[in-house]
Structure 1
């Protein structure tokens, strides 16, 4: 920081704030005047210019760019500011996932981000080791929830999800948060391919962490593995093919869609007001018994996306 001013070479957020302040001052506007034009508080503009607090959203960035006549400069900078909110090892994956036409994911411990409720996302993200402030938490929650809009858009990817039974068995964020999350998952069963991999299936090739396979618009595929504080992207075709086989094995070992939907619905029922811990324990035992008796190999493959199809 030179002469008390942030150094724009230190981060994209600082560079964004520096350009914002310069453009504002060229207009002869105070922070309060600019805030009024984009319908936020003066303190929000001050935070962005100082690169403190939460990063600007895409919507606010677009409003600032238009109000200041920035000609797209702020809009062009925003994706880099956005990715800076996440650990280095996840940024490339986030960029690719935003363009993927097919997303196949195995969730080992928590609901995949694309299907998380806001309350569940906040509970999960609040325990991250890379979290350094309340502002960063809210920023990450907003960005995670914001990415879900793509599932409802014209370019929505085909989504296939394998949930380890641990995902629906582990309470996260309290009873109400978990009930809402499980109900969201049950609804997702009607819109996407969602299967539960029960404990009774035993060992499988994806033990140890979560896995996501992305198919890009040109037909190429990448694989991404992730733990609690690390992630690795694989682009070598032989590596991706190996992960693809592991995923297909996981699907074959998972409960079929209708059984999975019922298992999730029953788990949600355990969090109703008349449920309680005893009801959840009983429901979990029943579900495990059902999974052991009803498990059959019928997951099959998801058709690969073909460019131009």
Structure 2
């Protein structure tokens, strides 16, 4: 653990202290901004703006830096203070992000949007903008979301199974080109050896996950945790009885869905229906 800094008049200001720590930690480790880009996956300009005080970055970026420097949770704590409202950073979501990066198996149910791990930059940008983000903050969050896809890449990537409600494939983006890219990305992902996609068609009746997006994470020690999310809140569930009950519900919904081969065919059919050029 790096030694604590002397508190100076300048570093008592949370935003400046945060930027100061980022610069000093990188200097001590001997990293360049380019090396951070290669190792952590976000652009060198992102880290440069954070160190210069022009941007605070996203919690995902800060979490990665904390792990890289071995300072967990110091940088996240400073980030919360710099943001000015610790309640904006949900503790449960922070823990979920840590667990997601360590998981050896992942299962997902998507209600109306593709899983964040399978979103293109165009989709992420429109989805986040719809939530009120704009400008630099929007671009930071888009970059952070795309960076999470590293979890599913590489020879040691964990298996990932996702059930997509048909609504996911019907709620198109405003730009047909971006929507084609998203559907094409899903079809390509379905060919990956570690990714399995199911489409749950309309007309299969009501089920217990109608309005709840859900992720299950299997950890290396054998336990499984769940994270549920709707429009109002998210909840990390670690109690084994509740997780097992939710997993049984997930299995029931999976049995109602198309097979992986049928699902990919369905996605490709949806892709064919999207016009190649935006209407004028």
TM-score, normalised relative to structure 2: 0.75
Give the CA deviation at 1:200: 1.1
Change (3 A) 1:73 1:99: closer
* Cα distance change of structure 1 residues 241 and 270 upon mapping to structure 2, 3 Å threshold: same
Q: Alignment RMSD, CA only?
A: 3.8
User: What pairs with 1:121-160 in structure 2 (closer than 5 Å)?
Assistant: 121-129=124-132, 131=133, 133-160=134-161
- The equivalent residue for 2:98 is 95
CA contact (8 A) 2:177 2:276 kept: no
Of structures 1 and 2, the one with the larger relative CO (CA 8 A, separation 6+) is 2
Change (3 A) 1:50 1:7: farther
Distance in 1, Cα, partners of 2:117 & 2:49: 32
Task: Describe the superposition over 1:9-46 as per-residue Cα deviations: whole angstroms up to 9, x where unpaired.
Answer: x5xx65441224567999xxxxxxx98999967x9746
SS of 1:126's partner is helix
1:184 aligns with 2:185: yes
With 242-251 and 44-53 compared, the bigger mean Cα shift is at 44-53
How big is the shift at 1:142?
A: 1.1
User: For residue 70 of structure 2, what is the aligned residue in structure 1?
Assistant: 76
> Is 1:169 paired with 2:170?
yes
Query: Using a 3 Å threshold, how does the CA distance of structure 1 residues 113 and 21 change in structure 2: closer, same or farther?
Result: closer
Q: State the distance in 1 between where 2:95 and 2:128 align.
A: 19
CA distance in 1, matches of 2:35, 2:244: 52
**Mapped contact 1:110–1:167 kept (Cα < 8 A):** yes
Q: In structure 2, how many angstroms separate the alpha carbons of the residues matched to 1:226 and 1:196?
A: 19
- Asked if 2 retains the 8 angstrom alpha-carbon contact of 1:210 and 1:225, the reply is yes
Query: Is structure 2 residue 12 aligned with structure 1 residue 7?
Result: yes
What's the CA shift for 1:54?
3.5
* Aligned counterpart for 1:110 among listed residues 113, 130, 135: 113
Match of 1:260 among 260, 263, 268: 263
| Cα distance in structure 1, aligned partners of 2:151 and 2:34 | 30
Q: 1:231 to 1:80 in 2, by over 3 A?
A: farther
Q: Unpaired runs of 5+ in structure 1?
A: 27-33, 63-71, 277-309
CA deviation string 1:66-98 (max 9, x = no partner): xxxxxx997234876579698414211111111
Query: How far apart, in 1, do the equivalents of 2:67 and 2:182 lie?
Result: 38
TM-score normalised over the length of structure 1: 0.69
Matched residue count: 253
* 1:1-309 pair list within 5 angstroms: 5=10, 7=12, 10=14, 15-20=17-22, 45=48, 47-50=50-53, 52=55, 54=57, 75-77=69-71, 81=75, 87-88=89-90, 89-129=92-132, 131=133, 133-191=134-192, 192-273=195-276
Q: Is the 8 A contact 2:25 2:69 kept in 1?
A: no
SS of the equivalent of 1:213 reads strand
Deviations along 1:175-204, one digit per CA (max 9) or x if unpaired, are 111111001111111122100111110101
SS in 1 for 2:106: strand
- Distance change >3 Å, CA 80–CA 215, structure 1 → 2: farther
